[in-house]
């Protein structure tokens, strides 16, 4: 018996413990904000040429509309959440929810079709990003509650009558969680989701394969740490589960070149969605979160058609 215990201990120390530790380090790099200057309002990928072009577009939009900007913040529990509100004196507003590592200034890139349609624009720093409080990126499982607070703030403070959510990647998942929640406010009129995955497990696994990193067994360790820090089952839960509760208008935006939120999974989400007002806008070019920068005119046309359908 004593020998068997020593063998089990050896297996744990040599085989299991390193996986737990390495998985935590990967999780920490992906989803924990360890310093305030990480995931700030500066460009997150300064060496990526296409991303820099996207960010330059965003910066130009922010500069052109600076006169309409107001710094805003709300409280949700102990967290102070920050954002920038562009008040164009409209009755409707969009809340743009960026993906991992991005803050409100990145979201300017997606604002123009809404501004052109007469919408006010709220660009938010999700928790643990930009100037907002928080340490953990909960991949939408907690952030959707923040979005509800923001939507109610727009109604109560600025008299906004109708809110649309526009989410990118993890922000898309967050938008769906919000709209499918039982306590989603009635004035959230619909959502546009860009590059939404079925579950974070799929997206994370595809990212690891793309980077030529070993997937097994570390992917399961990462999912374990997500469960520990966020209380979320990122394998079984996610858009693939919650899409069945989505009855508000929804625009799916997806690229056929998306390697991380794959096209076939997007089609499955669309087919599973019970909303009577749903549209799937396909684009032939553009990687994950890079659809609009490669198809600006067509992207904005799809958003306008969605807004007109509400």
* 3 state DSSP class of 18: helix
CA 102: distance to chain centroid? 9
Handedness of CA 122, 123, 127, 130 (dihedral sign): negative
**pLDDT score, position 304:** 98
> Do 122 and 110 touch, CB atoms closer than 8 A?
no
> Do 278 and 270 touch, CB atoms closer than 8 A?
yes
Residue 201 neighbours by CB under 8 Å, 6+ apart: 219, 223, 234, 235, 238
Query: Using CA atoms, how far apart are residues 134 and 262, in angstroms rounded to an integer?
Result: 30
Nearest to 192 by CA among 214, 168, 209: 168
Structure token digits, residue 154: 């727009």
218-230 and 17-31 helices, crossing angle to 10°: 60
**pLDDT score, position 2:** 63
**pLDDT score, position 19:** 85
Q: Where are the alpha helices (DSSP H) in the chain?
A: 2-11, 17-31, 49-64, 104-107, 112-116, 143-158, 170-180, 200-210, 218-230, 239-242, 263-272, 291-294, 296-309
Kindly provide the b/e burial profile for residues 288-299, where b requires at least 16 CB atoms within 10 angstroms of the residue's own CB. bbbbbbbbeeeb
Q: What dotted CATH number matches 46-198+238-309?
A: 3.40.50.1820
- Domain borders along the chain are 1-31+201-232, 46-198+238-309
Residue 6 neighbours by CB under 8 Å, 6+ apart: none
Tens-level pLDDT at each residue, the chain (310 residues): 566 554 444 444 455 678 888 999 999 999 999 999 999 999 999 999 999 999 999 999 999 999 999 999 999 999 999 999 999 999 999 999 999 999 999 999 999 999 999 999 999 999 999 999 999 999 999 999 999 999 999 999 999 999 999 999 999 999 999 999 999 999 999 999 999 999 999 999 999 999 999 999 999 999 999 999 999 999 999 999 999 999 999 999 999 999 999 999 999 999 999 999 999 999 999 999 999 999 999 999 999 999 999 9
* 3 state DSSP class of 14: helix
CA 120: distance to chain centroid? 20
DSSP assignment of 197-253 equals -S-HHHHHHHHHHHTT---TTHHHHHHHHHHHHH---TTT-SHHHHGGG--S-EEEE
């Amino acid at each position: 018996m004593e020998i068997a215990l020593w063998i089990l201990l050896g297996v744990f120390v040599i085989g299991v413990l390193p996986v737990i530790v390495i998985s935590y380090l990967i999780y920490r790099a992906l989803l924990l904000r360890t310093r305030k200057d990480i995931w700030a309002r500066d460009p997150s990928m300064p060496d990526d040429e296409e991303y820099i072009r996207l960010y330059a577009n965003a910066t130009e939009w922010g500069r052109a509309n600076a006169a309409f900007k107001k710094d805003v913040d709300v409280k949700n529990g102990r967290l102070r959440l920050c954002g920038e509100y562009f008040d164009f004196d409209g009755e409707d507003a969009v809340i743009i929810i960026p993906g991992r590592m991005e803050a409100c200034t990145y979201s300017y890139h997606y604002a123009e079709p809404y501004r052109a349609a007469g919408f006010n624009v709220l660009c938010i720093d999700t928790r643990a990003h930009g100037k907002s409080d928080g340490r953990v990126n909960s991949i939408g499982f907690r952030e959707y509650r923040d979005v509800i607070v923001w939507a109610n703030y727009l109604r109560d403070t600025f008299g906004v009558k109708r809110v649309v959510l526009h989410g990118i990647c993890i922000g898309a998942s967050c938008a769906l969680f919000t709209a499918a929640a039982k306590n989603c406010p009635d004035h959230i009129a619909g959502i546009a989701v860009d590059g939404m995955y079925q579950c974070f497990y799929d997206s994370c696994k595809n990212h690891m394969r793309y980077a030529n990193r070993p997937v097994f067994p570390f992917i399961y360790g990462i999912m374990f740490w997500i469960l520990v820090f966020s209380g979320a089952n990122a394998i079984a839960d996610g858009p693939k589960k919650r899409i069945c509760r989505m009855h508000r208008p929804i625009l799916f935006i997806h690229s056929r070149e998306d390697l991380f939120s794959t096209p076939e999974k997007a089609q499955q989400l669309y087919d599973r969605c019970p909303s009577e007002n749903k549209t799937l806008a396909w684009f032939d070019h553009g990687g994950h979160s890079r659809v609009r920068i490669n198809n600006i005119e067509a992207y904005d046309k799809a958003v306008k058609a969605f807004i007109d359908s509400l």
